[in-house]
Amino acid sequence: MTLRVLGVDPGLTRCGIGVVDVEKNRRATMVAVGVVGTSPDESLDQRLLVIATSIDDWLDRYEPHVLAVERVFSQLNVSTVMGVAQASGVVIAAAARRGIPVALHTPSEVKAAVTGSGTSNKDAVTKLVTKILRLDAPPRPADAADALALAITHAWRAGSGAAIATTGPGSQSLTPAQRAWAEAEAKARRAR
């Protein structure tokens, strides 16, 4: 069973989106990557509508098991934080409407998972995402690489290599992503 994760690096001007399939042995393969852009000259409602429409399209087209979204963290620029939070809300609501679990990861968690250091810079993240996914060229802009890094991080942290049970002792400690993946795996086994 392969876990499909849609990663989102939220932002009003550039919202990175990446879809990654991760096998039980942690081998990750890029399915799709892109950036949704909006202009600061547009009204906030129109900018959020563009992001919402794009996310809806990606969710319908790629049918991920889970969404991994960068957790909003405090920055010095309040307007930037507000834009990221608004874009995140639109993305999370789109997943919730479809019953898709959402996991939030901090930038330092993503850096640590992908590079081994929570203080790595964007170039290091992009370089290792390119290597992990066996890409011929680095995903550009950085928002696209960050979205892929979020997807990889979530799959690896969710235990994509572990056998996950949906019932019995310990099943209550599963994350929503682990539970969704285990349920999808059980359904696939029953269909065989």
Tell me which residue of 131, 130, 149, 138 sits closest to 7, measured CA to CA.
149
d(CA 172, CA 148): 28
Options 21, 70, 146, 185, the catalytic residue? 70
Amino acid sitting at position 151: A
Tokens of 139: 């995903």
Indicate if 70 belongs to the active site: yes
Options 9, 21, 146, 185, the catalytic residue? 9
Options 23, 123, 143, 185, the catalytic residue? 143
Strands ordered across the beta sheet of 3-9: 28-37, 14-22, 3-9, 66-70, 102-105
Indicate if 123 belongs to the active site: no
Tell me which residue of 46, 68, 77 sits closest to 158, measured CA to CA.
68
Q: Enumerate the active-site residues.
A: 9, 70, 143
